[in-house]
A = this chain, B = another copy of it.
Amino acid sequence: MPLQNDYFSAYHNLKLTRDDKGVLVAEFNSNGGPCVMTAQSHTEFVEAFYRISQDRANKIVILTGAGGFITDVDWSSFGDVTDPGVWSQVHDEGAQALENIANIRVPVIAAIEGRAHVHSDYALLASVIVAAEGATFQDVAHFGAGVAPGDGIFTTWSYRAGAGRAEAFLLNPQPLKARTAYEWGVVAEVVPNGKALSRAHELAELYLKAPEVTRRNTRIHFIQPLKERIVREVGYGLSLEGASSAALMKSMQAKSQPVARKGKSA
């Protein structure tokens, strides 16, 4: 599989490095700084997560970000979301990306510093989340921006924080402190600012003491209920989100706003 070797440098918004023990660090970023989600990164994350999942040389995967996790979204990059053909791709990629993370069959750790304000569901697909004191979780991409939160953000938060908390969190988005996310059972450990990644590496060391089959099978067992929920819920959620996006665009156009959402939310 020569393709396995060359994916490390293939992605603009995901920097991949792996140490000699097989600990892969996947760092979301935009030009080395805080990552802003675009249609292009949406597409390449699907591919990246798949490659990561299939490469058996990855023994542990750490998801993190440069100066935040994913901090914002550039909705305009997605083009005309009232076009069913455009949204069809968003739908397919959105579901596939989450399934691909769920199919990473080694322990996944998320190390969060700063803002996890877009697609924190990627982090919630990890088995363990380490967050710095100053880290915050929010969903700036959906309800506050006029769009239904159907892309997995509800499924994962509902799964890990409970449905009541998830619904309120998504309907009235406010930055959620790491400490509160810890009390909700979402974050496993809160560490001083700047220490999330190093703590993730410590946990990786610990997990590496178990045999490889044990590590893989533990992940497979742990992720199975969430994977089933993703498979069952996220496609529909994305369809509902697509219709809401189109409705938003139409209502904006009706108000003579020639450029709908100006590139960035919030």
Contact = CB atoms under 8 A, between A and B. Distances in A.
Interface of A: 1, 3, 10, 43, 46-47, 50, 54, 56, 82-85, 87-89, 92, 96, 99, 103, 105, 107, 124, 127-129, 143, 146-150, 154, 158-168, 170-172, 184-189, 203, 206-207, 209-214, 216-218, 220-222, 224-229, 231-233, 235-237, 239-244, 246-248, 250-251
Contacts of A1: 43, 47
Contact of A233 (B209, B213, B225): B225
A213 B160 contact: no
A13 to B, nearest CB: 14
B231 A228 contact: yes
A114 to B, nearest CB: 20
A211 B170 CA distance: 15
Contacts of A236: 221, 224, 235-236, 239
Contacts of A96: 54, 103
